[in-house]
């Protein structure tokens, strides 16, 4: 990403998009990583999330105990 602010804006957009649609389990966040580019270290900011193939994760299935 370009910078930390840009990455945070994208993460917020992802969170807002899914939360407005009722899926509050989506989590998008910014993570700082260090990458070596042409022999020098650079700080990069990447957006991570718990989306699976671009969709919210499925809710865990509750198993009922047999009586």
Residue 9's domain spans which residues?
A: 4-49
Please indicate, yes or no, if residue 59 is contained in any of the structural domains.
Answer: no
How far apart (Å, rounded) are the C-alpha atoms in residues 40 and 34?
A: 10
The structural domain count of the chain equals: 1
Q: Is residue 56 one of the residues assigned to a domain?
A: no
For residue 32, being part of any structural domain is answered with: yes
41 Cβ partners below 8 Å, 6+ apart? Answer: 34, 35
> Does residue 62 lie in a domain region?
no
**58 within domain boundaries:** no
Is 26 inside any structural domain?
Answer: yes
The 10s digit of each residue's pLDDT in 14-66 is: 999 999 999 999 999 999 999 998 899 999 999 999 999 999 998 766 667 76
User: Looking at residue 60, what is its pLDDT?
Assistant: 66
Residue 65 lies in a domain: no
- Residue 16 in any domain: the answer is yes
């Amino acid at each position: 990403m370009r910078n930390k602010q840009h990455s945070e804006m994208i993460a917020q957009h992802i969170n807002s998009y899914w939360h407005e649609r009722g899926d509050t389990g989506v989590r998008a966040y910014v993570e700082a990583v260090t990458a070596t580019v042409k022999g020098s270290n650079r700080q990069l900011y990447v957006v991570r999330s718990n989306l699976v193939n671009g969709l919210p994760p499925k809710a865990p299935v509750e198993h009922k105990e047999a009586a």
